Structure 1
Amino acid sequence: MSSTTGSDLEFVVGTIARTAVDNEREFGELDAVVGDGDFGYSLARGFEIVLADWDSLDRSSPSAFLKKVALVISKRVGGTSGPLWGTAFLRAAGAVNDRSELTGEDTVAMLRAAAEGIKVRGQSDLGDKTLLDALIPMTDALENEMKSGGGPAVGAAGLARVAATAARSAAEATTSMLARRGRPSYTGERSIGSPDAGAMAIAVMAERVADEWAVRN
């Protein structure tokens, strides 16, 4: 798999941030079905700060950049989302602590580390109806595509689309799940019948990355 640049990482993080801000209402409405409805608001407020501080973020290495993003999110995102998303970015930074350039394998390692961090911090796992139910299948699909030899053939834009497609399918599959963690779990069987807001956020973010990567100059 060819190496990716720091600008690619910045593109992905910037796209995630803009997606969180642009979809504040939609994410909040999803969360309100069985949660307290503050997910969209909390996520948007944190990523607004990331975008506001964008030009001053440390770019000395991929890890330093991700650590700074993690710090901003941890401080600015309210509720349970701050610790979870902050941990995800921090663990991703740790996975590439000695890297100056990133490869596709590094991307998978960052996503795996982020998921493991969320598991520990949120005491959750695959099947609990959380964002992990989109993040982990998305990472699996990305890794499988690269292992099958498809990476060089489809390129970065193609890999982004593979990830987005897997994330969307997995997020929609949370509709039939019973929530076992977070506020939605308090509603018991009422949590069945609507998708998890965090999982859908992962899907929407992945789709926007894929859409915008396809038209990058």
Structure 2
Amino acid sequence: MSSPSTPVGDLAFVVRTVARTAVDNEKAFGDLDAVAGDGDFGYSLARGFEIVLSDWDTLVSDSPAEFLKRVALVISKRVGGTSGPLWGTAFLRASTAVKDRQELKAEDVVAMLRAAAEGIKARGKSDLGDKTLLDALIPMTDALEQRLTEDGAGAGPAELARLAATTARTAADATTPMQARRGRQSYTGERSIGSPDPGAVAIAVMAERVAAEWDARD
């Protein structure tokens, strides 16, 4: 999965795309959060990922684990509200999943996503079904793992990126009729029913952009 564009190849492309997506969708994510939350999700996420983009040259490393760890520290320090600890933990746990890797395989991607989800579960005391970003992240990870189990050798990166995007979108949409049981939206009770979870939607939008831009990446 390596690429000549950066020392950590495709991983750097994905993280940079995630960062750009967070910044570009600040208003959309904030408006969605305002339906049943405090509306600061888009703002908080964008401010942190702006720093990731502005400090990019100091973050990229020859080691995938070190790169993710550096990103985690920026997110933890610069993203406000509950998003900072959760997203920071996700990147930090992902880094530990590949601490001995210099080049990443598809199985490592699943390991990173799984570790990120487990970190969010622990930090947010949440799980699948609580109407959080986990409701998109976990199904997306499960779908990738299943695809690799079925036919790992035949699953190319572009195909896996498309699978991640379609699965995350379906899962995010499925949070609409759910009542939030964790996070600020849970404080509003039944008011959280009828709109998708902002974090789950963010995962879907990020995955969709990665898939759409995969073949055109530098």
Query: TM-score band, normalised by the shorter chain?
Result: over 0.9
CA distance in 2, matches of 1:93, 1:13: 12
CA distance in 1, matches of 2:172, 2:162: 15
Q: 1:85 aligns with which of 87, 92, 99?
A: 87
Q: Is the 8 A contact 1:178 1:192 kept in 2?
A: yes
Structure 2 residue matching 1:175: 3-state secondary structure = coil
What's the offset of the Cα at 1:68?
0.2
Q: 2:55 aligns with which of 53, 56, 73?
A: 53
CA distance in 2, matches of 1:43, 1:184: 17
What's the offset of the Cα at 1:155?
1.2
Correspondence for 2:67:
65
Is 1:139 paired with 2:141?
yes
CA distance in 2, matches of 1:48, 1:152: 37
Correspondence for 1:169:
170
Q: 2:23 aligns with which of 21, 24, 27?
A: 21
Structure 1 residue ranges without an equivalent (≥5): none
Q: Is the 8 A contact 1:4 1:104 kept in 2?
A: no
What percent of counterpart residues are identical?
Answer: 75
CA-to-aligned-CA distance 1:20-72 (integer Å, 9 cap, x gap): 00000000001000000000000000000000000111403000000000000
What's the offset of the Cα at 1:153?
3.1
Correspondence for 2:105:
103
What's the offset of the Cα at 1:215?
2.6
How many residue pairs get aligned? The number is 214
CA-to-aligned-CA distance 1:178-199 (integer Å, 9 cap, x gap): 1000111011111110000000
What's the offset of the Cα at 1:146?
1.1
What's the offset of the Cα at 1:4?
3.9
CA distance in 2, matches of 1:92, 1:16: 15
CA distance in 2, matches of 1:93, 1:147: 23
CA distance in 1, matches of 2:72, 2:217: 26
Structure 2 residue ranges without an equivalent (≥5): none
Correspondence for 1:128:
130
Q: Which runs of 4+ in 1 moved over 2 A?
A: 151-154, 214-217
CA distance in 1, matches of 2:209, 2:60: 24
What's the offset of the Cα at 1:154?
4.3
AA paired with 2:176? T
Q: Is the 8 A contact 2:27 2:43 kept in 1?
A: yes
* Pair 84,137 (structure 1): closer, same or farther in 2 beyond 3 Å: same
AA paired with 2:163? V
CA distance in 1, matches of 2:62, 2:18: 21
Alignment of 1:199-210 (within 5 A): 199-210=200-211
Is 1:184 paired with 2:185?
yes
Structure 2 residue matching 1:88: 3-state secondary structure = helix
Q: Is the 8 A contact 1:133 1:199 kept in 2?
A: yes
More moved, 113-122 vs 138-147: 138-147
Structure 2 residue matching 1:200: 3-state secondary structure = helix
